[in-house]
Chains A and B, each alone.
Chain A
Amino acid sequence: MFGRGDFYSRLVAWLKILLPLAALGILSTLFLLSRNIDPATTIPFTTIDLRERARDERVTAPEFAGATEQGDLILFRSSSARPDPENPSRGLADTLSARITFASGATITFTAEEGIVDQRRDRAELSGDVVVTSSTGYEITTEHLISGMRTIHAETPGAVAGTGPPGDFTAGRMLLTTDENGENARLLFTDGVKLLYDPQDTKE
């Protein structure tokens, strides 16, 4: 009943119906089955954080850079800082760290859990297991450190403990000072220094 020609035209006729339907189906998946993105959950901040952030104008990852006449660069950095409620010219910083790069290429870094930064009085107070490391191979730990932000000057009110090329030592106080003209900066450990050098343990 159906000759060869009829089969071909019936096939084309069916395809004319099936193919558009298939196209319509695929097209509809674009809109009907798409991932539903819930607008409310995309913002990473919780409401509390938002309110707190708005209230006290927190600055995240601030940097305070300064340089001395001799070309030593001083860079202070912290994870976040907010103005001190009692004295707005001062900033309260979390995880405050500083890096001094001397003109000669030597470097000293301070790190601390928190700090108070007062640029007007050129003074930063670091507290909370303060660690001082210097490119001459010294690593010193103390509780508090007061440092200039545009001048090479730092001192610890309290005792320090440290280790370096000559061995492990403790001292009553530590100062970072330079000559009057700002040349040859040096770390001065005073108020009694006690050092122990063990020839056997060769530090790498």
Chain B
Amino acid sequence: QGAEIAFGNVEQDPSQPVEVTAESLSVDQDDGTAIFTGDVLIVQGEMRLAAPKVEVFYDEAGNRIQRLKASGGVTLVSGDDAAEAANADYSVESGTIFMQGDVLLMQGQSTLTADRMTVDTRDGTARMEGRVRTVLQSND
């Protein structure tokens, strides 16, 4: 089953500039694949995505970034919401982030866990699927 929740407190325009900082970037000279390694941080508007490794995928024309594939334990922060997962796939063009591998979403008091989560940064919603469980802290 799935749950639709708000994520990040602001609609975000996916055509904002994306800034990537990392320890190093390796570009294979035969096919041009670019891989960032070493605490990579992707920042776009309110959204921050941190991961140890991020690979860049281009569109067919080859001069625009289509997808950033983050792996090795990803944390995503947007506004005051935060989410963690094994890896995440950020489609820059459509502004959607697909996270999978024991996803943990922390929103204010409540935390949700699931197998997969799709965050649409454009309208600030997140959709969690696969064994969604909510943990409510009773702050007594």
Interfacial residues, chain A to chain B (CB-CB below 8 A): 102, 104, 106, 108, 134-138, 164-167, 169, 171, 176, 184-200, 202-204
Q: Are A198 and B64 in contact (CB under 8 A)?
A: no
Enumerate the 5 nearest inter-chain pairs by beta-carbon distance, A residue then B residue, closest first: A136-B32, A190-B24, A189-B25, A195-B20, A198-B17
Cα(A169)–Cα(B63), bound, Å? 15
Chain B window 86-101, contacts with chain A (Cβ cutoff 8 Å), 1 for yes, 0 for no: 0000001100000000
Q: Are B63 and A202 in contact (CB under 8 A)?
A: yes
Once A136-B29, A171-B25, A192-B23 are accepted as A-B contacts, the answer to whether A197 and B62 lie under 8 Å apart by CB is no
Q: Kindly provide the distance from the CB of B39 to the nearest chain A CB, expressed in whole angstroms.
A: 11
Beyond the given A165-B32, A171-B25, A187-B29, please list 15 additional residue pairs across the A-B interface where CB-CB is below 8 A. A102-B29, A135-B29, A137-B32, A165-B56, A171-B24, A185-B30, A186-B26, A190-B23, A192-B21, A193-B25, A195-B20, A195-B25, A197-B17, A197-B65, A199-B16
Q: Are B25 and A196 in contact (CB under 8 A)?
A: no
Q: Kindly provide the distance from the CB of A20 to the nearest chain B CB, expressed in whole angstroms.
A: 81
Q: Kindly provide the distance from the CB of A137 to the nearest chain B CB, expressed in whole angstroms.
A: 7
- Contact of B3 with A by CB under 8 A: no
Chain B residues, CB < 8 A from A187 = 26-27, 29
- What is the interface size of chain B, counting residues whose CB is below 8 A from a CB of the partner? 29
Cα(A167)–Cα(B56), bound, Å? 11
Once A165-B62, A198-B17 are accepted as A-B contacts, the answer to whether A186 and B28 lie under 8 Å apart by CB is yes
Q: Kindly provide the distance from the CB of B84 to the nearest chain A CB, expressed in whole angstroms.
A: 24
Q: Are B27 and A199 in contact (CB under 8 A)?
A: no
- Which residue from chain B places its CB closest to the CB of A183 in the assembled complex? B30
Once A189-B24, A197-B65 are accepted as A-B contacts, the answer to whether A106 and B29 lie under 8 Å apart by CB is yes
- Contact of B134 with A by CB under 8 A: no
Chain B window 14-45, contacts with chain A (Cβ cutoff 8 Å), 1 for yes, 0 for no: 11111111111111111110101000000000
Q: Kindly provide the distance from the CB of A111 to the nearest chain B CB, expressed in whole angstroms.
A: 18
Chain B residues, CB < 8 A from A202 = 63-64
Q: Of the candidates B19, B62, B92, which one forms a contact with A196 in the assembled complex, judged by CB atoms under 8 Å apart? A: B19
Q: Are A108 and B29 in contact (CB under 8 A)?
A: yes
Cα(A134)–Cα(B21), bound, Å? 22
Q: Are B36 and A197 in contact (CB under 8 A)?
A: no
Cα(A106)–Cα(B67), bound, Å? 24
Interface core residue of B15, B24, B26 (most chain A CB under 10 Å): B24
Chain A residues, CB < 8 A from B21 = 192-195
Interface core residue of B27, B32, B34 (most chain A CB under 10 Å): B27
Q: Are A166 and B56 in contact (CB under 8 A)?
A: yes
Q: Are A193 and B22 in contact (CB under 8 A)?
A: yes
Q: Are B63 and A203 in contact (CB under 8 A)?
A: yes
Q: Are B27 and A136 in contact (CB under 8 A)?
A: yes
